[in-house]
Amino acid sequence: MPDRELLRHHGDADTGPGMVDFAVNVQGTAPPEWLRERLAARLADLGRYPDPADEQAARAAVAARHGRSAAEVLLLSGAAEGFAMLPRLRPRLAAVVHPSFTEPELALREAGVPVARVVLEPPYTLDPALVPEAADLVVLGNPTNPTSVLHPAAVITALRRPGRLVVVDEAFADAIAGEPESLAGERHTDVLVLRSLTKTWALAGLRCGYFLGDPAVLARLDHGRAHWPLGTLQLEAVTATAGPEAVAESSARAERIAADRAAMIPRLRSLGIEVHEPAAGPFLLIRVPDAELLRKRLAEYGIAVRRGDTFPGLASGHLRVAVRGAAEVDRLVEALVQLGFEQR
What is the rounded CA–CA span in Å between residue 28 and residue 282? 12
Helix (H, G, I), strand (E, B) or coil at 326: helix
Domains of the chain, with CATH numbers?
Answer: 3-29+247-338 (3.90.1150.10), 33-245 (3.40.640.10)
| H and E: helices and strands count for the chain | 11, 12
Q: Which of 317, 314, 281, 309 is nearest to 14 (CA)?
A: 309
pLDDT tens figures, 136-162: 999 999 999 999 999 999 999 999 999
Helix (H, G, I), strand (E, B) or coil at 283: strand
Mean of pLDDT values over 75-94: 97
What's residue 265's pLDDT? Answer: 98
| Confidence label for 3 from pLDDT (cuts 50, 70 and 90) | confident
* DSSP strands (E only) in 161-298: 165-169, 191-196, 209-212, 274-275, 283-287
What's residue 1's pLDDT? Answer: 41
* Percentage with pLDDT > 90 across the chain: 93
Write down the pTM of the prediction: 0.95
